[in-house]
Amino acid sequence: MQFSHRLLSETVQSGDTVIDATMGNGHDTLFLAELVGTQGMVYSFDIQPLALEKTHALLDQSHKKFPQVNLIEASHDQISKFVTSPIMGAIFNLGYLPGGDKTIITKSTSTISAIQQCLNLIEIGGRVVLVCYYGHPGGREELTRLLEFVSKLDQKEFSCLRYEFINQINNPPILLCIERKK
C-alpha cells in the first residue's frame, strides 16, 4: 500500500530518525533510508533471519550505501532497547513475511507494545503508520485489538485515521495512521 509511504514522506525529512518495525522483504526499509538520507537513521526490526537476508540483498541491489540503516534481528516489541532518540516516523506491515513461513505472524500483544514504544519516542507531527493484513489465521484478532487500542488514544495528543478499500473483496489491507499533535 503505497499510501503508507506518502503519509510518511509528508512528515519525515532528511536527517530524521525512523523505524521499520516489521522489516519483511525490505521495501519500507529502503524507502525510509532514501527518505532520511545519510544524515538520518533507520532502525529496522524482524524476528526472522530470512527477512534480514532479503532486506540486506535489496539494499545491496540498489547500488547505494546505507550506513544509516540498522537491521536488527529482534521483535518489534524490543524497540526501546535499541532506539532511545526521538523519531519522526514508524511503519508496520502486519501479518506474515511474504514468501516466508505463514505460521510466523505478528500478534496483537507485541504489536501494541511496539506501537506504544514508538508513541513514546515520536516527535510532534510525527506519524506511526500501520498496514494491517488480516486475511490469515490470527489476523482478524490482531486487527480488532489494534482498533480498540488506537481508538482509545488521547485525542488531545494524537490524531488517528483509518483508511480502507470499500470496493475490494478478500480482506484488503486496512491502513491506520497515528499522528502526534502535542
Q: How many CB atoms lie within 10 A of CB 71?
A: 20
Q: For the sheet containing 122-132, what is the strand order? A: 69-73, 41-46, 17-20, 87-94, 122-132, 174-180, 158-164
Residue-wise pLDDT tens digits, 71-87: 999 999 999 999 999 99
Q: Taking all residues of the chain, what is their mean pLDDT, rounded to a whole number? A: 96
* pLDDT band with cut points at 50, 70 and 90 for residue 131: very high
Q: In this structure, what C-alpha cell is assigned to residue 82?
A: 535499541
* pLDDT band with cut points at 50, 70 and 90 for residue 58: very high
* pLDDT band with cut points at 50, 70 and 90 for residue 52: very high
- Check if the beta carbon of residue 93 is closer than 8 Å to that of residue 25: no
Q: Percent of the chain scored above 90 by pLDDT?
A: 92
Q: Inform me whether the pLDDT recorded for 119 exceeds 70.
A: yes
- Find the helix or strand (DSSP H, E) in which 88 lies: strand 87-94
Q: Inform me whether the pLDDT recorded for 128 exceeds 90.
A: yes
Give me the pLDDT at residue 64, please: 87
Residue-wise pLDDT tens digits, 149-181: 999 999 999 999 999 999 999 999 999 999 999
Where does the chain have alpha helices with state H?
A: 3-9, 27-36, 49-61, 79-82, 108-121, 139-151
* pLDDT band with cut points at 50, 70 and 90 for residue 1: low
Q: Inform me whether the pLDDT recorded for 2 exceeds 80.
A: yes
Identify the CATH assignment for 1-180 out of 1.10.10.60, 3.40.50.150, 3.40.50.2000, 1.10.3720.10: 3.40.50.150
